[in-house]
Structure 1
Amino acid sequence: MRRSLMALSLLLAACAPQVTQAPEARPFLRSEAFYPSATGLEWVYVPEGEPITSPPYRVRVEGPALYEGQEALRFRAFGRGEDRVYYRQVGAFGVRLLGFQDPSARVVFTPPLLEYPPEGLLAPGYRWGGRVEVKVELLSPSGREPLAQGRLDYAMEVLEEREVRLPAGTFRVYRIRQVYQDQAGQTAYEVWFAPRVGEVRTREGRILVERNFQ
C-alpha cells in the first residue's frame, strides 16, 4: 500500500523509540518578531481535548545550524517519546522549511517549502503554495539509506481571522488550511497562527498551554 511522502516521513519519527527529557528551567524572554524565532523561545502544547496537566509536547528554538549546506534555525519538537528537529529560514520572505530530521530519518525539501508568506500578505483569503521535491532517507550507524523520493504539491489558504481562548491566553489568530498532494493522494490540516506568538494550534491538533516569552 502506498503512503504519501508527507505521511510516510512523519510516521517514521512516531515509530522511533525515544527517551523524553525533563524540561530545563529557562528564563522568561521577550520577542517582538511577527514570526518568533529567537534562540531559547519555547512553546508548550497538549492535544486538543486533553487536560492541561497531561504530559506536554514542546517546541524550542535551539539556534543557528546548517542543513544541506544552507543556513537555518533549529526548531526542536519533543515530548511523549517524540524528538524531531525542523530546519527553517525566517526572514522578509516569511518562513521556509528546509526539512527535518529525527534519529531514524532525514527529510529534505527542494526548494524549501514556504510555510508562511511575508507578514504583510497574511490576511483572510490569501493563498500560496508550490511544488517541492521530497527526499526521505533512513538513518543508521552505517550512514544514510534512500527510502523514498518524489514530488509534493502544497496549497495554503487563510480561512479567517478570529479570536480564540486557550489555556495559554486569548489570541487573535489566522485559521490556515494546509493541503498536501502527491501521487498517493491528498492530506489536509488546519493550524491557528497568532502573530508574535506562533502556532497556538498545530496541524497535529495540539493547543498552546504555555510559552516562555511575551
Structure 2
Amino acid sequence: MKRYLMALALALAACAPQVTQAPEARPLLEEKAFYPALPGLEWVYLPEGEPLSSPPYRLRVEGPALYEGQEALRFRFQGRGEDRVYYRQVGAFGVRLLGFQDPSARVVFAPPLLEYPPEALLAVGYRWGGTTEVRVELLTPSSREPLAQGRLGYQMEVLEEREVRVPAGAFRVFRIRQVYQDARSQDVREVWFAPRVGEVRTREGRLLVERNFR
C-alpha cells in the first residue's frame, strides 16, 4: 500500500463528476497580500497547450474552517469531475498545507507541509523542506477507514525569477522546483508563483487563464 502513498498525497482524484457552470460577471476583488487568500478569490486554469475553449479547472477560497482541530482556510478545487478541498494556513510563516479531502478520501499532513516560506525569504536560491507523516483515510457514508500511512519528505528550491506569459497575461514569477520523496519513489514538479497573484503554473502543469481579483 505504501507505493501509492505519494500519488494519493499529491493527486487524489474524486469519484463523482461535477457540473461546472460559467460564473456571473462581477467586479474584480481587491487583494494586496503577497500570498492571496481572501475568501471569494478565484483562479481559473487550463492544462498547458489546451485551447481556451476547453473545460477549465477552478480554485476558489471559500473561507475559514477547522481541519483536524486546527483553524484553516478552505480552498476548493473543481473541474472535469474533480472536487477537492484543500485546508491551508496563511500567515507570517508563509503557507502551510494541513491536508485535503474529496468525496472518497481524506489526507492529513502532520506536521503541516510548508508550501511557501515567509514572504521575505522567497528569493532565487532559497531552499526549504521537511518531513511529514501522511495519513490517508477512506471516506464511507458512515465512517472513516484507514487506507495508508507513511512519511513523506519534501524539498523546495527557487530556481529563478523571470517574466512569463500565460493566457491570463504576463507575470513576473518565481520558478520553484518541488521534490517529494517517500520510501519507494521520488516525484519532481515545478510551479510558477507570482507574488500577489498566486500560482501562474501549478505543479500539475496547468496555466492561469483568469482570476477575479487585482
Structure 1 residues 10 and 177, CA gap change in structure 2 (3 angstroms): closer
Contact kept in structure 2, 1:124 and 1:174, CA below 8 Å: yes
Give the whole-Å Cα distance in 2 for the aligned partners of 1:210 and 1:12: 25
Structure 1 residues 10 and 120, CA gap change in structure 2 (3 angstroms): closer
TM-score, length of structure 1 as denominator length:
0.96
For the residue of structure 2 that corresponds to 1:7, the secondary structure is helix
Deviation at 1:6, TM superposition (A): 2.4
1:46-79 alpha-carbon deviations (Å, 9 max, x no partner):
0000011211000000000000000000000001
TM-score, length of structure 2 as denominator length:
0.96
Residue 75 of structure 1: aligned partner: 75
Residue 181 of structure 1: aligned partner: 181
Residue 165 of structure 2: aligned partner: 165
Give the whole-Å Cα distance in 2 for the aligned partners of 1:21 and 1:199: 21
Residue 20 of structure 2: aligned partner: 21
Contact kept in structure 1, 2:9 and 2:134, CA below 8 Å: no
For the residue of structure 2 that corresponds to 1:90, the secondary structure is strand
Deviation at 1:142, TM superposition (A): 1.8
Deviation at 1:168, TM superposition (A): 0.5
Give the whole-Å Cα distance in 2 for the aligned partners of 1:118 and 1:5: 28
Contact kept in structure 2, 1:77 and 1:83, CA below 8 Å: yes
Deviation at 1:10, TM superposition (A): 4.4
Give the whole-Å Cα distance in 1 for the aligned partners of 2:123 and 2:10: 29
Aligned residues: 213
Deviation at 1:3, TM superposition (A): 2.5
Contact kept in structure 2, 1:12 and 1:104, CA below 8 Å: no
Range with greater deviation from structure 2 (47-56 or 18-27): 18-27
Unaligned runs of 5+ in 2: none
Structure 1 residue 38 and structure 2 residue 38: aligned? Answer: yes
Give the whole-Å Cα distance in 1 for the aligned partners of 2:184 and 2:104: 23
Give the whole-Å Cα distance in 1 for the aligned partners of 2:17 and 2:43: 20
Residue 194 of structure 1: aligned partner: 194
Residue 89 of structure 1: aligned partner: 89
Unaligned runs of 5+ in 1: none
Give the whole-Å Cα distance in 2 for the aligned partners of 1:209 and 1:11: 21
Trace 1:146-157 onto structure 2 (pairs within 5 A). 146-157=146-157
Letter in 1 for 2:183: Q
Structure 1 residues 6 and 27, CA gap change in structure 2 (3 angstroms): farther
Contact kept in structure 2, 1:9 and 1:105, CA below 8 Å: no
For the residue of structure 2 that corresponds to 1:3, the secondary structure is helix
Structure 1 residue 210 and structure 2 residue 188: aligned? Answer: no
Give the whole-Å Cα distance in 2 for the aligned partners of 1:60 and 1:107: 19
RMSD: 1.3
Give the whole-Å Cα distance in 2 for the aligned partners of 1:63 and 1:169: 27
Letter in 2 for 1:45: Y
